[in-house]
Amino acid sequence: MTKRSAVGTQSLSREDIYLFHEGNFFHSYRLFGAHLTSESGTQGVRFTVWAPHAVSVGVAMDSNGWDGTRNALEPVADSGGIWSGFIERASYGDLYKYEIFSRSGERLLRADPYGVYAEVRPNTASRVGSVEGYEWGDQAWRRKRRAPYAKPMNVYEIQLGTWKQKEDGTFYTYRELADVLIPYIKEMGYTHLEFMPLTEYPYDLSWGYQATGYFAPTSRYGEAKDLMYLIDRCHQADIGVLLDWVPGHFAKDAHGLRQFDGSPLYEYADPMLAEKPGWGTLSFDFGKPEVHSFLISSALYWLEVFHFDGLRIDAVTSMLRLDFEKKPHQWRPNEQGGVENQDAVEFLRKLNRAVFNYYPNAVMAAEESSAWPLVTAPAHEGGLGFNYKWNMGWMNDTLKYVETGFDKRSSLHNLLTFPIMYAHEENYMLPLSHDEVVHGKKSLLDKMPGYYEEKFAGLRLLLGYQITHPGKKLLFMGGEFGQFIEWKDEEQLDWLLLDYEAHRNMQAYTAALNHFYLAEKALWEIDHKWDGYDWINADDANQSVISFVRKSKKPGDTLYILINFKPIAYDDYRIGVDKPGSYQEVFNSDEVRFGGEGLLNDQPIRAEKGSWHQRDYHLPVKIAPLGMVILKKTAPKKKITENPVESATTDSRPATRKGKKK
Spell out the alpha helix ranges (H) of 286-388: 289-304, 316-320, 342-358
CB atoms within 10 A of CB 175: 18
Cα–Cα dist 59/510, whole Å: 53
- Residues in contact with 320: Cβ distance below 8 Å, sequence separation at least 6, in sequence order: 340, 341, 344, 345, 348, 368, 370, 372
Q: What is the DSSP letter of 91?
A: -
Q: At what angle do helices 289-304 and 14-22 cross, to 10 degrees?
A: 100
Query: Three-class SS of residue 596?
Result: coil
Cα–Cα dist 350/528, whole Å: 24
Cα–Cα dist 471/492, whole Å: 30
Q: Which residues are catalytic?
A: 314, 367
Encoded amino acid at 319, one letter: M
Count of CA atoms in the C-beta half-sphere (13 A) of 53:
15
Spell out the alpha helix ranges (H) of 359-489: 392-403, 414-417, 444-447, 452-468
DSSP 241-300: EEEEE--SEE---TTSSTTTTSS-SSB-SSHHHHEETTTTEEEB-TT-HHHHHHHHHHHH
Count of CA atoms in the C-beta half-sphere (13 A) of 468:
28
Are the beta carbons of 450 and 458 closer than 8 angstroms?
yes
Query: Rounded to a whole number, what is the largest CA-CA distance in the chain?
Result: 91
Encoded amino acid at 524, one letter: W
Q: What is the DSSP letter of 436?
A: G
Cα–Cα dist 93/96, whole Å: 9
Q: What's the helix, strand, coil split of the chain in %, to 5?
A: 30, 25, 45
Length of the chain: 662
Q: Which residues pair with 615 in a beta bridge?
A: 612
Q: At what angle do helices 174-188 and 501-519 cross, to 10 degrees?
A: 80
**Backbone phi and psi for residue 327, each to the nearest 5 degrees, phi listed first:** -80, 160
Cα–Cα dist 106/4, whole Å: 36
Task: Put residue 259 in one of left, alpha, beta given phi > 0 → left and psi -120 to 50 → alpha.
Answer: left
CA dihedral in degrees (608, 613, 614, 620; nearest 10)?
-10
